Structure 1
């Protein structure tokens, strides 16, 4: 089965649009975990962005069944550059939270943190 290929700029813009539309939204874990798709719709910011750029819901939902569901493992198959994958992984990890920050950051802050930590993933891109 072939995997949908997407463009860096479209994906990054979709993530930024989700954050701009809901800057104060804090991702709520589904059944104690983080998923890309829940009940047939995008759940996390990365899942919503993938759907927004045209990746079919079935392809995005398959990421949740993978042992390597983290963005850094899941996103390269869609043809994204390493820098965009690194940036999206930072957004996702900041959104998800961790051991000490179980709730994670609001989406607007998660994107700002990724920009600060990784930089603009499209800087220098044409």
Structure 2
């Protein structure tokens, strides 16, 4: 399936808006970081939820989990999406923030502000 990065950004925003206080738990029971797109047969992280809504199957999300490079920037690049696009960079930063325990709403707001600051300085 071809992924439209702009559509994924819109869907990430929608999911974060619906669940702004949700904090992603990307850690195993023994405290090791293990961020995944699926867990227990369902989407797990913010991007996993958004991608599923766009028609990415659970099997495809599990495939993303099984790759050596599992960050959304690497996953999308492997799908032929320009990793340097502003949409992919935005998604990568949101993923980083949610993986480090910012709520989904906070992650989106933080990255939006970060990108506004960068754009003012450019």
Task: Report the TM range for the smaller structure's normalisation.
Answer: 0.7 to 0.9
Specify every segment of 5 or more residues in structure 1 that has no aligned partner in the other structure, as ranges. Answer: 98-103, 120-126
**Structure showing the higher helix proportion among its residues:** 2
Give CA deviations for 1:48-87 in whole Å, capped at 9, x if unaligned. Answer: 1111100111111111111100111112234544221110
Match of residue 83, structure 1, among 83, 86, 103 = 86
In structure 2, how many angstroms separate the alpha carbons of the residues matched to 1:106 and 1:21?
12
Specify every segment of 5 or more residues in structure 2 that has no aligned partner in the other structure, as ranges. Answer: 117-122
1:34 is aligned to 2:31:
no
Kept after mapping to 1: 8 A contact 2:73/2:89: yes
CA RMSD of aligned residues (A): 1.6
Task: Name the residue aligned to 1:93.
Answer: 96
In structure 1, how many angstroms separate the alpha carbons of the residues matched to 2:63 and 2:46?
16
1:50 is aligned to 2:19:
no
| Superposed displacement of residue 11, structure 1 | 1.1
In structure 2, how many angstroms separate the alpha carbons of the residues matched to 1:54 and 1:66?
20
* Number of equivalences: 110
In structure 2, how many angstroms separate the alpha carbons of the residues matched to 1:75 and 1:69?
10
Give CA deviations for 1:8-44 in whole Å, capped at 9, x if unaligned. Answer: 3321111001100110110012524111011121100
Task: Name the residue aligned to 1:14.
Answer: 11
TM-score w.r.t. the length of structure 2 is 0.81
